[in-house]
Structure 1
Amino acid sequence: MIIHINLSRVINRETLTWLMVTTLKGISQVVLVENAVSGFIIFAAISVASVPLGLITLFSAVIGTLIAKIGRADPNSVNQGIYGYNSVLTGMALYLFLSGEDRWIIALIGAAITAFFTAAMIHFMRQTGVPILTLPYIILTWFFLLTTYRLTTFQLSPDLTPQSLSNWTLNIKGEANWLDGAVNGIGQVFFLDYSVSGILLFIALFWAGWRIGLYAMVGNLAALVTSYGLGGEHSLIFKGLYGYNAILTIIAVSLVFNENHKTGLIFGTIAACFTVPISASIVTWLLPYGLPPLTMPFVFCTWLFLGARKVLPAF
């Protein structure tokens, strides 16, 4: 009996350790990193800005991981946190972009559905050789937000207001705060507009690898310069709303999915710059629906450049 109890404790301890480590990896996979320590720093960065948002992040990652584990998904993918990051983003987005007392329940349900959708997309896109990236999160979040126009259970946040393009005017006035812009880009990956969180997020990236942190800084700078040079709205530029897609894109194109390291940084920087006009286009396209662009510019540009490499292998 004593031996049985001790073995049970060991198994439970191992299971909890596995769940904790894999959950943190799922959080870190949002920025294409597989590192539990980085995941913990990211969790801390979110919690510093908002404790409720930090809890939603943690629970969403746990839900995605457990669904994949119980569903007997590929163990390597599960252990890498592949089934956690889309659930994390969906949970966070629904919590922030919906209103009402029940939004946290909807957010966690959305995180669970995203895990199933992630599994389905991995299956359907396996033969293409194209990574799913954050597409499950994007599609499901948009679908949930659009239900607010037809179902009273779902209430859209007042911050997301549909606007008519015929009455739209571009206002590029405002203070150019380059210091804030340097750290806000990485923060916006997790919907954060808080400098301390941005600094912590960069620390998380550098912990995972100095190239990841450096390339993220290059991508953010590329987006700042490009959006400023093209005459973007200062309020959006220096809040990091042009930077976060560029950061994800340069990490994906230059490091994670790069087989030719010689041209990786150059090719990734070009891709990061390209996210700026793509972001502006997608924001305009979604304006009448009041939907945020999320990470669609990152997905589009990364797919575009990775696809080009299939035909142009020198890049």
Structure 2
Amino acid sequence: MRSGVTEGNGKVVPFLVATMKGISQVVLIENWVTGLFILAAITITSFQLGLIAFLSVAIGTLVGRVGGGDPVSVSQGLYGYNPMLTGMAVHLFLEGPASWGIALFGALITAAFTASVLTLLEPTGMPTLTFPYIVTTWLIMLSSYRLESLKLTDGLVPQDLSHWKLKIEGNIDWLSAFIDGAGQIFFLQGIIAGLLIFIGIFFAGLKFGMYALVGNFVAMVTAYILGAEHSLIDAGLYGYNAILTALAVGVVFRGGESWMAPLTATIGSILTVLLIASVDTILLPYGLPALTMPFALSTSIFIGARKIMQYT
């Protein structure tokens, strides 16, 4: 009996650790404690969203394991983070009784899509980033225009670009906006959620935390100087992509001890502001959110350039 329990724990515990790492991989960190901090931040904000997040990342991890994915990649959480984001996004942006099922189905499809993108990009040495999540989520949301059972929430309204006007009025609470920059990575707003996520990032290492802070700060200031909508800055929507870009370019994929890493991370954070504005504009007629596409594009530019340029 005791050996059976031991055997069961030997399978369950590594799976749970890999699942928590899948959560932390959203911020490009492989650390199960960081994952716990993030899951706590999500669950405190919304129990339902926390449950969707956990189930989605577990589905992705399970697909990687049962489907015969690379064991190292599975244990690192690389099959879990894209499905987690898809599940959360679909649950938040679609309404109706079918949203739960569609969210979990989206997580399942994203896991398979992640495997295909990993295979496709392996010869190039380029990382998967969040492309599977972005593409799958956009496709599911676009299908709502043709399927009666799927309906976008009222906050996502297609707009005619020719009649759209920039509105920069309104005050900015800089402290809450700064903290919300971390929360918006997971569609969250609130001091407690943002602080828990920052704590989780710092737990993984001081360098991770510092790059997250700097990327967030640079993007917020850049957005303000360039005249971005104050409401979006205040909600942290110009910071979250920059945090991910700074972590990716400055720490995770910097290619050794490059002295240019802080500069490229800063430039990448600035670039995300321009990309957020442009991607939002492109998607305006479809009522879709930018998600993490600005981060994925900005990071890919620098990682790709480093393949042939030594000092990037």
TM-score clears 0.5: yes
Following the alignment from structure 1 to structure 2, what is the Cα–Cα distance between the partners of residues 171 and 156?
24
Equivalences for residues 268-283 of structure 1 within 5 A: 268-283=265-280
Displacement of 1:125 after TM fit?
1.1
Q: Which runs of 5+ in 1 are unaligned?
A: none
Maintained 8 Å contact 1:254/1:261: no
Following the alignment from structure 1 to structure 2, what is the Cα–Cα distance between the partners of residues 261 and 61?
33
Q: Relative to structure 2, which stretch is displaced further, 176-185 or 88-97? A: 176-185
**Residue from 81, 87, 101 that aligns with 2:83:** 87
Report the number of matched residues. Answer: 311
Corresponding residue for residue 6 of structure 1? 2
**Residue from 250, 259, 263 that aligns with 1:262:** 259
TM-score normalised over the length of structure 1? 0.97
**Residue from 281, 285, 290 that aligns with 1:288:** 285
Q: Deviations along 1:116-164, whole A, 9 cap, x unmatched?
A: 0000011111111111100000000000000000011211111110000
Displacement of 1:310 after TM fit?
1.9
Q: After TM superposition, which residue ranges in structure 1, 4 or more long, deviate above 2 angstroms?
A: none
**Residue from 290, 294, 307 that aligns with 1:310:** 307
Which amino acid counterpart does residue 116 of structure 1 have in structure 2?
A
Following the alignment from structure 1 to structure 2, what is the Cα–Cα distance between the partners of residues 241 and 172?
14
1:252 matches 2:248: yes
1:297 matches 2:294: yes
Equivalences for residues 102-117 of structure 1 within 5 A: 102-117=98-113
**Residue from 141, 151, 160 that aligns with 1:155:** 151
Maintained 8 Å contact 1:164/1:287: yes
- SS of equivalent residue, structure 1 residue 311: coil
Following the alignment from structure 2 to structure 1, what is the Cα–Cα distance between the partners of residues 146 and 224?
38
Measured on the aligned residues, the alpha-carbon RMSD in Å equals 0.8
Displacement of 1:305 after TM fit?
1.1
Which amino acid counterpart does residue 296 of structure 2 have in structure 1?
V
Maintained 8 Å contact 2:182/2:197: yes
Which amino acid counterpart does residue 133 of structure 1 have in structure 2?
L
| Percent identity for Structure 1 against Structure 2 | 50
Equivalences for residues 13-32 of structure 1 within 5 A: 13-32=9-28
Displacement of 1:261 after TM fit?
3.1
Corresponding residue for residue 126 of structure 2? 130
TM-score normalised over the length of structure 2? 0.98
1:213 matches 2:200: no
- SS of equivalent residue, structure 2 residue 64: helix
Following the alignment from structure 2 to structure 1, what is the Cα–Cα distance between the partners of residues 53 and 172?
32
1:35 matches 2:27: no
